[in-house]
Structure 1
Amino acid sequence: RPVQRLSPNSGLTASDVPAQDSLKSRLRSFPAASFGTWISSSSFVCLDALKDMGFEWFMVDTEHSQVNPETMAAMMANLGGSGAVPFVRVGNLDPYLVKQALDSGARGILVPLVNTEAQARAAVAYAKYPPDGIRGAAAGASSRYGRHLASYLREANAETTVGVQIETKEALDNLEAIAGVSGVDILFVGPQDLTLSLGLLDDRKNAKVRDAMRRVVHACERHGKIAGTLVIDVEEKRAAVELGFRFISLASDVRFLIQGAQDYLNA
């Protein structure tokens, strides 16, 4: 059946499911697409302007941006109490970067360029405390600097969302093995890098790209994962929803700025 949407204009919101549930729980139990957006700039003004517009989550990008650790941590604090879930895309598969993001208050992480089952297992291990992983404990912002450390340690493994990016031909070749990794919640297609890896340069609307994206959705359905991606226009948004993606980034703060300026200049 058509995918329902969690969006300001759909009539369906996060309040339609139990408020105490995490985003991960809602995505698993409620057949709706969840819309967030990418934070690519280090501007607090952009984040502040967007945070109460109805996005369910924000992905602060530390891979392809100038967002440094201090800025990232401040952005996590800025999103506190907004109702939106803070995520961080880490720079690469590195236990220090994953730990830093989660200690700073991120409720989930997205790891780029995950191409193998072993890399997917490592992403989970870096994000989970023992016995499920190797994350070290510290009294950071995530536990309100130790005031809620015991409860955070009890809940973090279950509540932390782990996403891995499928953005190369190698990842597609290993798709079933990656999707089968316990602890991975989201398989997130990086459409631009996947397009490049398939030898199609910037032709991200090519049928081969759509076929690859469909494969990811089907793998997620088989293994109980959530399919995610990023869209850059309304046409891509509609196509992603129709394909079955349920964790969808609507462009980015920088793209909103450029598109808004362009609309005025072209009017």
Structure 2
Amino acid sequence: MDHQINLERGEESVGTWISIGSPAVAEVTASLDLDFVAIDVEHTTIGLETVENMVRGIEATDSETASIVRVPWNDNVYLKRILDIGVDGVLVPMIETAEEARELVEAVRYPPAGGRGIGSGRASEYGSNFQNYVENAEDSFVTIAQIESQRGVENAREIASVDGIDAIFLGAADLSGSLDVFAEWESDVLNRHIEQAVAISDEVDIPIGTLVTDKGGIERRVRQGFDFFAVGKDTAVLADGTNEMIAEYERAMEEE
């Protein structure tokens, strides 16, 4: 438990995205040369017990790959239950205001600094490390606010400045929809907003990350100045890899 994620401004960190609810997929992925694995429970049917077993799969490897879970919403009850599993970070979608960012921080901090319910779960080694965990929990995971709307970018400076927000994560797909240029990755208006968020993160001195699911988009995002990346998504990599094998099979059959 408690792998440290290097999310310092100006430092490089790379992970990948998992949406298949399988401990084996999590374990195989975490065994690669990655700093973190992001488990998506916002747009999947992955439940809490599966998340727990996926985290076990990640921790079973010899690597230092950390676990980040994107939760469905800025929900204090769900956040409490995810953190009790002992994850290394939480990624919370659709943060649009500083007030929402403060609510997020309130949800992940124990009293008196916050309102997280105190209980003995896996994170505290089922109670055997209870007092020490509660006293030091804030240092054992990162709190990442996902900005993915025009309103969120407009309020990015205030969001990034909230004490307790460790990093921000730019969701380009939802942002493109918010700007009425969905999936138009070359759009000037989309890239202006992305670059505005990156510039603000630089000024506030907080790391900013993003997800890139196609190889062609990595260079652009690197040039734009992101600090950490989730590169690739398990379902897309599975489909692309299988299609490549099918194409190779068809080529070989044509030569017969």
Q: TM-score, normalised by structure 1?
A: 0.87
In structure 1, the residue matched to 2:70 is 89
CA positional deviation for 1:158: 2.7
2:36 to 33, 54, 57: 57
> Bigger CA drift: 202-211 or 131-140?
202-211
Which amino acid in structure 2 is aligned with residue 27 of structure 1?
L
CA positional deviation for 1:21: 8.3
Q: Which has the larger radius of gyration?
A: 2
Equivalent residue of 1:63, what SS?
coil
How far apart in 2 are the matches of 1:71 and 1:27?
26
CA positional deviation for 1:54: 1.0
Q: Is the 8 A contact 1:175 1:219 kept in 2?
A: yes
1:218 to 191, 199, 203: 199
1:146 and 2:127 matched: yes
In structure 1, the residue matched to 2:153 is 172
CA positional deviation for 1:49: 2.0
In structure 2, the residue matched to 1:114 is 95
Which amino acid in structure 1 is aligned with residue 4 of structure 2?
S
In structure 2, the residue matched to 1:230 is 211
2:59 to 66, 73, 80: 80
CA positional deviation for 1:128: 1.1
1:66 and 2:45 matched: yes
CA positional deviation for 1:186: 1.2
> Bigger CA drift: 111-120 or 46-55?
46-55
- Alpha-carbon distance change, 149 to 253 in structure 1, aligned in 2, over 3 angstroms: same
Deviations, residues 226-246 of structure 1 (Å, cap 9, x unaligned) = 101000122222222221211
How far apart in 2 are the matches of 1:224 and 1:142?
29
In structure 2, the residue matched to 1:17 is none
How far apart in 1 are the matches of 2:241 and 2:222?
24
How far apart in 2 are the matches of 1:135 and 1:235?
41
Q: Is the 8 A contact 1:79 1:86 kept in 2?
A: yes
- Alpha-carbon distance change, 134 to 219 in structure 1, aligned in 2, over 3 angstroms: same
Structure 1 unmatched ranges of 5 or more: 1-19
How far apart in 1 are the matches of 2:186 and 2:166?
26
How far apart in 1 are the matches of 2:3 and 2:41?
27
CA positional deviation for 1:263: 1.6
Q: TM-score, normalised by structure 2?
A: 0.90
How far apart in 1 are the matches of 2:119 and 2:27?
28
Structure 2 unmatched ranges of 5 or more: 249-256
2:7 to 27, 50, 59: 27
Structure with more contact order per residue of length (Cα contacts < 8 Å, sep ≥ 6):
2
CA positional deviation for 1:75: 1.1
1:38 to 8, 11, 17: 17
CA positional deviation for 1:205: 3.1
In structure 1, the residue matched to 2:113 is 132
In structure 1, the residue matched to 2:242 is 261
